[in-house]
Chains A and B, each alone.
Chain A
Amino acid sequence: MSWLIALITAAVVTGAPLLFGTVGEILSEKSGNLNLGVEGMMFMGGAVGLGAAFYYEKAVGAAASGPLAVLLAILAAFVAGALGALIYAFLTITLRANQNVTGLALAIFGTGVGQYIGELMRVKEGGFVAVSNELKTYFQNSPFPKALQDIPVVGGLVFSYNVFVYLGIIVAVLMGLYLNRTRSGLYLRAVGESPATADAAGINVGRYKYLSTIIGGGISAVGGMVYIMTTAGCVWNHEGLSGEGWLAVALVIFCLWSPYRALWGSVLFGGLMILYLRLVLPFFPTQLYKILPYVVTVIVLILTSMRNNREKQPPASLGLAYFREER
C-alpha cells in the first residue's frame, strides 16, 4: 500500500511538467496548429526559467523572496516559449508554411537555444548554475502547512506536492472550462475544426490561431521550467529535458485533446516514466520501460479509431494552413 502511495505521489510530481506541456499543446492544436516544437519550447522555458530565478537571487542576494522567484521563473519561461511559438505562428499562419516541417524546425531550434543559454550560464558562472537551497524549497516543497501533509494517506496523496502540481491542475481545469463552456472557446474549436466555416461566420481566424499558439507555447514552456526546478533539482543539466516535449505531444493524442483527461493522463505517463526505478523486473531493460508511454499512446489511438467516435477525433483541420481565397 505504501509502495503504491509512494509510486502515485512520485508519478504526480514527474507528470507535472508533462501536464503543462500537454495543456499548452492542446490549446495550440485546438486552433488547428500542430506545433511539434514543444520539445524546443520546453528547453527554452527550462533554461530561461532557471536563469531568471538564478540571476534574481544573484542580484538581491539573501533578501531574495521565494514566491517572487517562483513567479519570475514562470514568467520568464512563459515569455521564452511564447517567443518560440510566435516564430512558428508567423511561419505557419501568415506565411502558410508546412506545419510539420516548421514544428520540427522549432523543436531543433528551441533545443539548441535552450542548450546554448543553459551552457552559457553554466560556463560563465563557473561550471554550476543552481539556486540556493533556501530558494529551492519554494520550488520543490509543498505550499501547505505541515499538519495537513502529515495526515496519513491523504496528506501524502493530496497535500504533499510542490506548488507547480496545483498550478498545473488549475491551468488544466481552466483550459477545460474555457474550451467547453465559453463562447470564445467554442469559436476557437470552430477555427480548429473548420477555419472556412469560422471565417464565414465572422470569426477572426488569424487572431485565434495566433493567440492560442502563442499562449499555448508559453504554457508548454512553463513545463520545461517545472522539470528543471523540480525533477532536475534546480540545476542546469543539458540532457535533463530530453524527450519531455515529445512525450507531451504523445500525451495530447493519448488524452484525445481534452485538458481534463490530461490531468490523469499526465499522472499515468509520469508513473510509466519512473516505473523502471520502482518496479524492477529482472532481465527487463530500462529502455523498454521508457517506451511504455508511447506504446500506451499507440494502443489508445488504435482503440479510438476502431470505435470511430466523432467526438474523440483530432480537430478536423489540424495541420492545415488556412487561406480564405483558396478554392
Chain B
Amino acid sequence: MSGLEQVSAIRLQGITKRFGPVVANDGINLEVERGQILSLLGENGSGKTTLMNMISGIYFPDDGEIFVGGRKVTIRSPKDAFDLGIGMIHQHFKLVDVFTAAENIVLGLDGKGKFDKKAVAAKVREISERYGFDIDPDKKIYDMSVSEKQTVEIVKVLYRGADILILDEPTAVLTPQETDKLFAVLRNMKADGKAIVIITHKLHEVMAISDKVAVLRKGKYIGTVNTAETNPQALTEMMVGRAVSLNIDRPEAKYRDLRLEVKGLTCRSLEGVKTLDDVGFQAFGGEILGIAGIAGSGQKELLEAIAGLQKAETGSVLYYPPHPNSEIAGYHVPVDRNGEELLGKTPSQIQKIGVNLSFVPEDRLGMGLVGSMGMVDNMMLKTYKEHKGPMVDRKPPKALAQRLIQELEIVTPGVSTPVRRLSGGNVQKVLVGREIDSNPTVLMTAYPVRGLDINSSYTIYRLLNEQKMKGVAVVLVGEDLDVLLELCDRILVLCGGKVSGIVDGRTATKEEVGLYMTRVGGGKEEA
C-alpha cells in the first residue's frame, strides 16, 4: 500500500467550467489518494456537482487538467470515465425503473449477444458479500426503497471495477440507520484501497466519515484540510466565507392560541391500506410543531389531508382564527371562533372561508412550483385569482419576485429563468418565500431543508421562526432529529400512521424520539 500512496488516485488541476456567462468552476484543484475518503463541501450552487460531473464524463471542462493514477487523461464521455475506473453515484439516481437490479447493473457493459442473468446475479452477490450489501438482483427498481436503489447504484459502479467512487449527496434521502449502513460499506471500500469522494452538506457526516475535506465556495476552490485537524465551525466558515452561528434559535412567541385541532383522522391509500389511523393532536399559533417519524409513516398524508388535498375516511380538522391582538389577525375573512371544519373541503373552498393555509410540499418542483416557468409566473400561481378581468397583471408578482431575490438571497440569473434551472436551495427559497408572502395563519412544510446547504437551511429556520413569532402555527415535518429538537416547541412522533407520542422539544432527547419512531416503549400512556 505505501507504494501506491505516492501517486494520487485522481488529481485535478485548474479545472474551469462555464455555462454561458456563469462560471460554475473556476480553477479548481483537488486530489484524492487510494484508501482515502474525501468530502467535498460547499453550499448549493458552489459547483460541487458540476466538478464531479466533469470527472465522470457528463460535462467537458473548458480548461484544466485531470490526472488519473499520475497519468494525464481526457474524459469525453461516461464510457471514458468507466474505462479509467471512475464511477459516479448521482444524486438523482440514474436507473431504469422497469428493469431489474441486474439489468441496470450490466447496462452499457461490453459483451455481446444474450444476456446471461445467472452469471450477472452471481457476480452481484459476490460484490454484495464483499462489502456488506443486501440486494436482490431480480427485484425491479420501481419496487425498491430509496436506499435499495442507492445500493443498486453503488453495486453498478463496483461491478464495473471502479477504483474511484464519487457519491453525490448520498445521505440526503436516507434515514439515520441507512446512513450508518452506507458508511459501514464506504469504510469497507476504503479498506479495500478505493478512493472515495463524497459530496454532502451534513457536517457531522463529514466529520464522521472523511479523511480530508475540500471546500468550494461560489465556484472557487478554497482549500483542503485534514478532517482530524478541523471542526464543524471552521468548515462552515470556509464554506460560507464568514462566521456563522450553528445554533438554532427557539424564541417565545407573544400569543399562543389553539389554531388546529385534529381528531380521529383516518385515511386510506388507494390500495386500501390505512395511512393514517385515528390521528389526533392540537397545533397552536406561535408554535412550531415538529412531526418526526420514519419515512412513510403518514407524514405526507397528514399534511395533505389538512390541506384538503387528500380525502379522509373519518375524523375532523377544526380551525380556529388567530388571536385578535396578534400580528396576523385582521388580514383574513373572519372565521367562526368555535372552529371551522376543514375536512371535506377543497383547497380553494378552504381559502374562501377565510382560512389561510400554506403548504410547502416535499416535492418542490412537482406540487409546489412549475419547473419550466420563471419566478414571476410561479408567484402568480398563488395570486392570479385576486386580479379581476381576463388579462393578468404581471407587475405585483414581478415586484414580489424581485423582493424575494433580495430578502432571501436567491441566486438566479433573472426573474424569468425557469425555476428548475435553480439549485435546490434556491428553489426552496422561492417556494417558501411565496407561501410566506400570502400571510398564512398555518404554515405546513415537509422536509424544508432536504438537500439544502447550511446557509440556506439556516435561512429557512429563520423564516420559520419569524412566522412563529407573528403567531402563525407552523407544522414542520422533518428528518434531522437534532434540528427538530433544537427548533420545535413540541414534537409529534408518527409510527405506522398512528401518533406514538408527543414530546416537548425543550426537554426531550434524541433517544426518546427515536424510541417513539419505532414504538419501542409504547407511546400511548404519554400521548
Residues of B close to A182: CB separation below 8 A: 113-115
Establish whether residues B59 and A183, one from each chain, have CB atoms under 8 Å apart when the complex forms.
Answer: no
Establish whether residues B98 and A193, one from each chain, have CB atoms under 8 Å apart when the complex forms.
Answer: yes
Tell me the nearest residue of chain A to B58, going by C-beta: A324
Residues of B close to A181: CB separation below 8 A: 114-115
Contact of A200 among B58, B97, B103, B111 (CB under 8 A): B58
Judged by a CB distance under 8 angstroms, whether B524 is at the interface is: no
Judged by a CB distance under 8 angstroms, whether A209 is at the interface is: no
Establish whether residues B108 and A201, one from each chain, have CB atoms under 8 Å apart when the complex forms.
Answer: yes
Among A144-185, those with CB < 8 Å from B are: 181-184
Distance (Å) between the CB of A316 and the closest chain B CB? Answer: 7
Contact with A along B497-519 (1 / 0, CB 8 A): 00000000000000000000000
Cα separation A326 to B115 with both chains bound (whole Å)? 31
Cα separation A199 to B112 with both chains bound (whole Å)? 18
Judged by a CB distance under 8 angstroms, whether A196 is at the interface is: yes
Tell me the nearest residue of chain B to A324, going by C-beta: B58
Establish whether residues B107 and A203, one from each chain, have CB atoms under 8 Å apart when the complex forms.
Answer: yes
Judged by a CB distance under 8 angstroms, whether A198 is at the interface is: yes
Residues of B close to A199: CB separation below 8 A: 58, 77-78
Among B78-92, those with CB < 8 Å from A are: 78-79, 82, 88, 90
Contact of B82 among A184, A196, A202 (CB under 8 A): A202
Distance (Å) between the CB of A317 and the closest chain B CB? Answer: 10
The total of chain A residues at the interface (CB under 8 A) is: 26
Establish whether residues B96 and A190, one from each chain, have CB atoms under 8 Å apart when the complex forms.
Answer: yes
Judged by a CB distance under 8 angstroms, whether A187 is at the interface is: yes
Distance (Å) between the CB of A282 and the closest chain B CB? Answer: 46
Residues of A close to B140: CB separation below 8 A: 310
Judged by a CB distance under 8 angstroms, whether A305 is at the interface is: no
Residues of A close to B82: CB separation below 8 A: 202
Distance (Å) between the CB of A326 and the closest chain B CB? Answer: 10
Among B305-355, those with CB < 8 Å from A are: none
Residues of A close to B115: CB separation below 8 A: 181-183, 186
Establish whether residues A190 and B107, one from each chain, have CB atoms under 8 Å apart when the complex forms.
Answer: yes
Contact of B94 among A186, A187, A189, A194 (CB under 8 A): A194
Cα separation A197 to B149 with both chains bound (whole Å)? 13
Establish whether residues A201 and B114, one from each chain, have CB atoms under 8 Å apart when the complex forms.
Answer: no
- Assuming the contacts A182-B113, A310-B142, asked whether A202 and B94 have C-beta atoms less than 8 A apart, the reply is no
Judged by a CB distance under 8 angstroms, whether A239 is at the interface is: no
The total of chain B residues at the interface (CB under 8 A) is: 31
Judged by a CB distance under 8 angstroms, whether A125 is at the interface is: no
Contact with A along B55-70 (1 / 0, CB 8 A): 0101100000000000
Establish whether residues B78 and A187, one from each chain, have CB atoms under 8 Å apart when the complex forms.
Answer: no
Cα separation A32 to B58 with both chains bound (whole Å)? 20
Judged by a CB distance under 8 angstroms, whether B99 is at the interface is: yes
Judged by a CB distance under 8 angstroms, whether B123 is at the interface is: no
Judged by a CB distance under 8 angstroms, whether B106 is at the interface is: yes
Judged by a CB distance under 8 angstroms, whether B421 is at the interface is: yes
Cα separation A230 to B96 with both chains bound (whole Å)? 42
Cα separation A313 to B114 with both chains bound (whole Å)? 24
- Assuming the contacts A182-B113, A187-B107, A190-B107, asked whether A200 and B88 have C-beta atoms less than 8 A apart, the reply is yes
**Residue of B59, B107, B142 most packed against chain A (CB within 10 A):** B107
Contact with B along A267-283 (1 / 0, CB 8 A): 00000000000000000
Contact of B95 among A187, A189, A197, A311 (CB under 8 A): A197
**Residue of A183, A186, A199 most packed against chain B (CB within 10 A):** A183
Among B29-74, those with CB < 8 Å from A are: 56, 58-59
Residues of A close to B114: CB separation below 8 A: 181-183
Residues of A close to B420: CB separation below 8 A: 327
Establish whether residues B94 and A196, one from each chain, have CB atoms under 8 Å apart when the complex forms.
Answer: yes
Establish whether residues B97 and A193, one from each chain, have CB atoms under 8 Å apart when the complex forms.
Answer: yes
Cα separation A4 to B31 with both chains bound (whole Å)? 76
Distance (Å) between the CB of A36 and the closest chain B CB? Answer: 23
Cα separation A204 to B57 with both chains bound (whole Å)? 13
Residues of A close to B113: CB separation below 8 A: 182-183
Residues of B close to A325: CB separation below 8 A: 58-59
Establish whether residues B98 and A311, one from each chain, have CB atoms under 8 Å apart when the complex forms.
Answer: yes
Establish whether residues B112 and A202, one from each chain, have CB atoms under 8 Å apart when the complex forms.
Answer: no
Cα separation A199 to B88 with both chains bound (whole Å)? 12
- Assuming the contacts A200-B88, A201-B78, A310-B140, asked whether A183 and B111 have C-beta atoms less than 8 A apart, the reply is yes
Residues of A close to B88: CB separation below 8 A: 200
Contact of A198 among B56, B108, B112, B142 (CB under 8 A): B108
Residues of A close to B156: CB separation below 8 A: 201
Residues of A close to B98: CB separation below 8 A: 193, 310-311, 313, 316
- Give 7 nearest A-B pairs by CB, closest first: A201-B108, A202-B79, A197-B94, A202-B108, A201-B107, A203-B108, A193-B96
- Chain A residues in contact with chain B, CB under 8 A? 181-184, 186-187, 189-190, 193-194, 196-204, 310-311, 313, 316, 324-325, 327
- Chain B residues in contact with chain A, CB under 8 A? 56, 58-59, 77-79, 82, 88, 90, 94-99, 103-104, 106-109, 111-115, 140, 142, 156, 420-421
16 contacts between A and B (CB under 8 A): A182-B114, A183-B112, A183-B113, A183-B115, A189-B99, A190-B108, A194-B94, A194-B95, A194-B96, A194-B97, A197-B95, A200-B90, A201-B107, A201-B156, A203-B108, A327-B421
